[in-house]
Structure 1
Amino acid sequence: MHKIGIIGGGQLGKMMILDAKRLDYYFVILDPTKNCPADSIADEHIVAGFDDVEAIKQLAAKVDVVTYEFEHINAQALQMLEQQGHKVYPSSETLLHIQNKLVQKDWLRKHDIPVPDYVKVGNIQEILEAGKTYGYPIILKTCTGGYDGKGNAVIRQESDVQEAFEALGAGKLPLMVEEFVPFEKEVSILVCRSANGDIQVFPVAENVHVNSILDETTVPAVISEDSTKEAMDIARKTVQVFGCCGMLCIELFVKKDGHILVNELAPRPHNSGHYTIEGCYTSQYENHIRAILGQPLGDSSLIRPTAMKNIIGQSNGVANVQGLEEAYERPGVKIHIYGKEKVAIGRKMGHITATAPTIEEALESVRYAYSKLRLL
């Protein structure tokens, strides 16, 4: 029996376990929260912080392979595991190239993968220089630690520079400025590479964000054949130049001329790939597990048009889901509740998926189900 360790016990870890339990694999998770989403279905749970090196060593000693469900972890601890002979996928080298957004962009640019223009900055003067170079608006980003819009600030004019600089730590964290891309659409593409070299690319998904948090995903993305091909080519090239084993999500901008720019990478299953559970022949979670075990990958093609809508917390308190009966009135709807004990404003609590003959019907179904659900 394969034994798999996951650093992180959130919803992504939970969905990996749900898919892999069909083959009776054994899972050990490491997460500081006792009742985290994956706790109820993991075989063992090491309750410890993500920077607890001894706990990470304990996890590795219990399993055949270690993976992780988010990238803000101690890459040096993963390097140590690899030096001790443990299998870690994605590797510490992949993580080190992706964890810092400046390093990530440098690596993409070095391999001729198209990205927005960017520059490293360390103080207000350098941000002002970048504003002159690119023209406003510009995006100020922390190089490490940001997600769901955290760690980003849009600077619309010169007078906003001071406030944005202070909001992102006033130079305590490494910073970069990116040119503002007036994109037509935000899309993402998932690609998986197995330890045996097998590669599967998932369909291009179209994403809509609200308050910098993913709100809805529809698949296939309504973009030109040329844009789709360009995204697919970028996905195959990127997963190889980063030496990634497992799932890689590539967030992309489709420019007005149809060309593609890479926004950011995540070396793991991704929120915008939740649709793959119902929408594809093999989900991102199953392929991730197959990949880290060196198995052939499953067919990643779309079964039929699919829509996904996130269930995001609108209040703070104890999570109590109501309205499932009404939400399930549409036959194509599937509801996923993550099992987080507390609801918080902006927190991802679950998601709804629907498949249908058309994207419009699938989207209408998930919106209908969402309107009936309440998190009290």
Structure 2
Amino acid sequence: MSITLPGPTLGVVGGGQLGRMLAEAASPLGVDVVVLDPTPECPASGVARDQIVADFDDPDGIRELAARVDALTFEIELADPEVLAAAGAEHDVPVQPDPGTLETIQDKLVQTEALADAGIPVPEFAAVATADGLERVVEEFDGVMLKARRGGYDGRGNLPVREPEQAADALAEVGGDAMAERFVDFEREIAVMGLKGADGATRTYPVTETVHREEILRESVAPARADDDVIARAEAVAADVLDFLDGRGVYGIELFETREGDVLVNEIAPRPHNSGHWTIEGTRTSQFENHVRAVLGWPLGPTDLVAPAVTANVLGDTDESRSATLHGVETVLDAPDADLHWYGKDDARPLRKMGHLTLTDATADLEPPARDALLSRARELRDRVTFREA
């Protein structure tokens, strides 16, 4: 392949923070980005060359996007795989990852069944469509995590159900048709950002530990504070997942480490993922740059660790929606080993992801206590910023 600059134009369905960071990573490569998003002046619009204002599954909008770009990708699973495939074929524009992979992943039950059929370890699960059916599964599994089959995002659409009498209300809350998963007694949650490039080339970033509260990712620790054998199992499972999936790009592979040291797949995202934001400072080539490279069929960049890193999400900490003004930013900027990322959202809502900060320490050893200290400092810095009025 012969690559010249200025480079091609990449179309991205979705213009949230992921689209913004994709555009930031594409720019130094000479790649322009056009995003499609229903929100006027979406977060990515301040960085991308242009925005098409349309719904994620709007056929006319997707066709317009395809007509203006050299390759198509997406940063949100709400994109319509059939519409993407048709627009790509009409304008002879590649769509990556493969729309068929997006279709499989969009439905959590279909995704989990496909993984299980491929021999990839997943938690015990069952399809549920009625309150009576859910009651039986709750009794059999002694409690479940109920997941909406479609549309869940950032913890939305997931609901713990511990007693059979909660079944009817829970099923109504997630919208009916759902998947029930046996609770996993996990030691920690971990993730692997996997990467597929041209000719099926695959790479993985170091295994990351993810810390959630209220179903929202709060911090990521890289490398994960797990035993070497668990790390090896996670890498092996991630390799199997990458073999299973079709299409170039970055995949966020969320995993459970059980108390017994086994590794199970929780969910897969066919795009860059919050669990991999630390790669911007912590590796030579970020997940965002590598997604751009992979989608375009360019050579992949190295995924090796440059320094231990911890990312802390900056979430909306107000009781109600308000104009987004972050106070205390100077405390982060004063820290010499901290990097701040602002997502450009106009309104701060409770627990909405508004930005993140990453701490790195190239002098730290790879023993867990060093990462404990880095995590503590990241939390301390993050807790000094607020959307509440000073």
Band of TM-score, shorter chain: over 0.9
Instruction: Say if 2:384 is the partner of 1:372.
Output: yes
Equivalent residue for 2:332? 327
Alignment partner of 1:77 out of 72, 80, 83 = 83
Amino acid corresponding to residue 15 of structure 1 in structure 2: M
Q: Distance in 1 between matches of 2:89 and 2:11?
A: 17
Instruction: Say if 2:286 is the partner of 1:283.
Output: yes
The answer on whether the counterparts of 1:111 and 1:241 sit within 8 Å (CA) in structure 2 is yes
Q: Normalized against structure 2, the TM-score is what?
A: 0.93
Deviation (angstroms), 1:110: 1.1
Q: Counterpart of 1:184 in 2: which secondary structure?
A: strand
Alignment of 1:258-277 (within 5 A): 258-277=261-280
Q: Which runs of 4+ in 1 moved over 4 A?
A: none
Equivalent residue for 2:188? 185
Percentage of matched positions with identical amino acids: 38
The answer on whether the counterparts of 1:244 and 1:267 sit within 8 Å (CA) in structure 2 is no
Q: Normalized against structure 1, the TM-score is what?
A: 0.96
Amino acid corresponding to residue 167 of structure 2 in structure 1: V
Deviation (angstroms), 1:131: 2.2
Amino acid corresponding to residue 87 of structure 1 in structure 2: P
Alignment of 1:39-50 (within 5 A): 39-50=45-56
Equivalent residue for 1:240? 243
Alignment of 1:133-212 (within 5 A): 133-134=140-141, 136-169=142-175, 171=176, 174-212=177-215
Tell me the alpha carbon deviations over residues 237-257 of structure 1, each in whole angstroms, 9 at most, x when there is no partner.
111211131000111000011
Deviation (angstroms), 1:29: 0.8
Instruction: Say if 2:373 is the partner of 1:361.
Output: yes
Tell me the alpha carbon deviations over residues 185-230 of structure 1, each in whole angstroms, 9 at most, x when there is no partner.
1111100101332211001111111111100111111111111111
Q: Counterpart of 1:375 in 2: which secondary structure?
A: coil
Deviation (angstroms), 1:96: 1.0
Q: Counterpart of 1:88 in 2: which secondary structure?
A: coil
Q: Counterpart of 1:239 in 2: which secondary structure?
A: helix
Q: Counterpart of 1:112 in 2: which secondary structure?
A: coil
Equivalent residue for 1:251? 254
Q: Counterpart of 1:125 in 2: which secondary structure?
A: helix
Q: Distance in 1 between matches of 2:47 and 2:154?
A: 26
Q: What is the number of residues matched between the two proteins? A: 372
Q: Distance in 2 between matches of 1:80 and 1:119?
A: 33
The answer on whether the counterparts of 2:134 and 2:164 sit within 8 Å (CA) in structure 1 is no
Instruction: Say if 2:317 is the partner of 1:314.
Output: yes
Deviation (angstroms), 1:178: 1.0
Equivalent residue for 1:218? 221
The answer on whether the counterparts of 2:135 and 2:165 sit within 8 Å (CA) in structure 1 is no
Amino acid corresponding to residue 32 of structure 2 in structure 1: Y
Structure 2 stretches lacking a partner, 5+ long: 1-6, 365-369
Structure 1 stretches lacking a partner, 5+ long: none
Equivalent residue for 2:28? 22
